[in-house]
Structure 1
Amino acid sequence: MNWFEAYKDQLTEVFTESERIISKFPAPLDRLGLDYLAKFDASKEDSTKNYICYLLPFWMSDLTPLLPETIKKFSLANIFGMLYFFIQDDIMDSSTSEHKEKLPSGNLFYLQFLTIYRDLFPSESPFWTYYNEYVIEWSDAVTNESQANYFMNDIRMVAKKASPVKIASTGALLLSNRTQLVSEVSRAIEHVLVTLQMLDDWADWEQDLEDASYNCLLAMLHAHLKLPLHIPLSKEVIKQQVYVHDFVGLYAQVASTTHQLLLNLGLQAHLPQLYAFHEYLIEKLLADGDQITKNRQVLALGGFHNLLSKVNEQG
């Protein structure tokens, strides 16, 4: 995990700066903001690790010769962007008003996000055109994913749910006068974001089933069973496919295909940490599938031994 370990000290500085900024929010938004930040702090063991959100600017350093302080600014901006967009996700995914108290903090997060980028890019910079494009992509993807069934019909759109992540990579390229690479690098990041969403959906399928939220694993399972997406699957059917019929293995094959597409872009020498991170995601998904198979085999073997024991006892 050198893609993480190599930047731990810099990340500590960035999260410390995030805490300093949030602590100046008016009460009680300072406390609420710090509590929300802690849920994603990479240095905390029990936090949600959204590595790509705050590590992507550091991974871009192999391709963009920017000053370390500038890279940290991009990472800091992405942290505030991450907090803002995750609050939007929380609110959209909830059928109650349980997250409404996060809205004021979300606005302050977004203000910090914009402030950092305004310091880096003047209003006439093409950066703001890309910025608008990525926010529109996010809006489209989170609004239409269920109706359009993006995972089965237009898998690239799955990545658009995290399009704001690309604001940092594109910004780094623009500051480095490497605008010609924006399209290719964005495509590479999108491939990684698809697999990341697949892994998240594998981890969250039970909650998504309960919330009737779109989920890549469930969408693929519907297609596998030749069922329309609007017909809900029972938890029992899903578990049978996952734990008896090795469906996670089929699911992981999609990620392996995505990695080949990533390799075909030919950017591995320029973005080695991004590629290594994608390999980590795929290995984790494949390992989960293998573990399910092994567990089933152990259970089956245990049943066989129990049968032999009963036969021997009767004999």
Structure 2
Amino acid sequence: MDWLSAHKVKMDEVFAETESLIRAFPEPLNHHGLAYFAKFDLRQPSSTKNYICYLLPYWMQEITHLPTDRVKKLSLANVFVMLYYFVVDDIMDAAKGEHKDKLPLANLFQLQFQKMYRALFPPQSPFWPYYEAYVLEWAEAVTGELSGDYFHTDQRKVAWKASPVKNASTGALLLAGKAELIPVVTSAVEQVLVTLQMLDDWADWEDDLDEGSYNCLLAFLLGGEMRIESDSLTSEWIKHQIYVRDGLEGYSEIAATHHEELVALELSMKGLSEFHLHLVDSLRATAKEIKEKRKQLLSGGLSYFLSNSSNF
């Protein structure tokens, strides 16, 4: 995995510095922050990995040729962007103030990345209008996705749920004096973010069904008839679509189409392209595994397979 292994030492440095900055937070927020950070720490084998958030600045180096210290600063800032928006998501999803203690922590995460951006971009820099635009895109996506059914109507807005990630790519291009590449690089990053969301939604479809949250896989299986709140949409029906009717196969082919569109942009961003191909291959392999396991279980074991399947 060159898209990751080539940058492992640099990533260890970025995450070590992140840990050091959080450790300096006032008590008890430093302890809360370190505990939260540990869930996403790339150095921990069991942590949740959000590679594009912190690797994107390094993948951009092939076209920006930025010095390592600036790339590291953009990566470090994006780690705090990631932590901030995950905390915000937790708070938005919580019931009856369950995560109210995370509000001050979110503000400290935000303070860190804003401080880093201010050091890189003066007040008159065009970076700041982009920064504001990405916040607005995020806000629109998280509030309008269920009614908008973006997977069918405007897949770009599926990517907008992670729009602040683009601070890294746009920031890198501005620092390199290559603002003219922002539109095409943005298209590439958004293509990857859509596919990444597709994989997340495959992993989370049962939770999203229970919560009535928008989910790209469910939207795909419903074929544009997005009614997650309907009593007629059951877990059993969805499993039938996935495990009997090979619904994940068609879903994975959409991701494969995304890769063709990414390659057609002809960007010299090998790391980003390899990462996206890794996502596509993962989804395709899962669809193939489902089909092969079904063939093995057709002789009387299919009902057992359906009742015990849990996204493998």
TM interval, shorter chain, is: over 0.9
> Does the CA contact (< 8 Å) of 1:12 and 1:43 recur in 2?
yes
SS in 2 for 1:162: helix
> Does the CA contact (< 8 Å) of 1:33 and 1:105 recur in 2?
yes
Cα deviation 1:227-265 (Å, max 9, x = unaligned): 645425111111111111110001111111111111121
Q: Which residue of 1 aligns with 2:309?
A: none
Distance 2:37 2:57 in 1: 19
Q: Which residue of 2 aligns with 1:101?
A: 101
Cα deviation 1:32-69 (Å, max 9, x = unaligned): 10111111111111100000001001101101111111
Q: Which residue of 2 aligns with 1:61?
A: 61
Q: Which residue of 2 aligns with 1:231?
A: 230
Identify the match of residue 290 of structure 2 among 285, 289, 292.
292
> Does the CA contact (< 8 Å) of 1:93 and 1:211 recur in 2?
no
> What amino acid is the match of 1:3?
W
Flag the structure with larger Rg.
Answer: 1
Distance 1:227 1:257 in 2: 22
Please report the TM-score for the alignment, with normalisation by the length of structure 1: 0.93
> Does the CA contact (< 8 Å) of 1:81 and 1:109 recur in 2?
yes
Q: Which residue of 1 aligns with 2:154?
A: 154
> Does the CA contact (< 8 Å) of 1:138 and 1:162 recur in 2?
yes
Gaps of 5+ in 2: 303-312
Give 1:299 shift.
Answer: 0.8
Percent of residue pairs bearing the same amino acid type: 52
Q: Which residue of 2 aligns with 1:126?
A: 126
SS in 2 for 1:80: helix
Distance 1:279 1:180 in 2: 26
**Pairing of 1:125-204 with structure 2 (within 5 A):** 125-204=125-204
Q: Which residue of 1 aligns with 2:217?
A: 217
> Does the CA contact (< 8 Å) of 1:18 and 1:76 recur in 2?
yes
Cα deviation 1:125-174 (Å, max 9, x = unaligned): 01101111111111111110001110111111100110000001101000
Give 1:183 shift.
Answer: 0.5
Q: Which residue of 2 aligns with 1:25?
A: 25
> What amino acid is the match of 1:98?
E
Q: Which residue of 2 aligns with 1:279?
A: 277
SS in 2 for 1:41: coil
> What amino acid is the match of 1:295?
K
Distance 1:27 1:195 in 2: 39
Distance 2:178 2:239 in 1: 48
CA RMSD of aligned residues (A): 1.4
Distance 1:84 1:112 in 2: 10
SS in 1 for 2:20: helix
> What amino acid is the match of 1:296?
R
> What amino acid is the match of 1:135?
V
> Does the CA contact (< 8 Å) of 1:201 and 1:215 recur in 2?
yes
> Does the CA contact (< 8 Å) of 2:213 and 2:228 recur in 1?
no
Distance 1:94 1:240 in 2: 31
Gaps of 5+ in 1: 305-315
Give 1:97 shift.
Answer: 2.3
Distance 1:214 1:303 in 2: 32
Distance 2:113 2:226 in 1: 42
> Does the CA contact (< 8 Å) of 2:149 and 2:226 recur in 1?
no
> What amino acid is the match of 2:230?
I
> Does the CA contact (< 8 Å) of 2:214 and 2:228 recur in 1?
no
> What amino acid is the match of 1:297?
K
Give 1:220 shift.
Answer: 1.3
Distance 1:119 1:3 in 2: 28
Distance 1:301 1:208 in 2: 32
Q: Which residue of 1 aligns with 2:90?
A: 90
Aligned residues: 301
Distance 1:196 1:227 in 2: 21
> What amino acid is the match of 1:282?
V
> Does the CA contact (< 8 Å) of 2:59 and 2:272 recur in 1?
yes
> What amino acid is the match of 2:28?
P
Distance 2:288 2:127 in 1: 44
SS in 1 for 2:60: helix
> Does the CA contact (< 8 Å) of 2:209 and 2:228 recur in 1?
no
Distance 1:229 1:204 in 2: 14
> What amino acid is the match of 1:163?
S
Cα deviation 1:161-218 (Å, max 9, x = unaligned): 1000000110100010000000100000000000000000000001111111111011
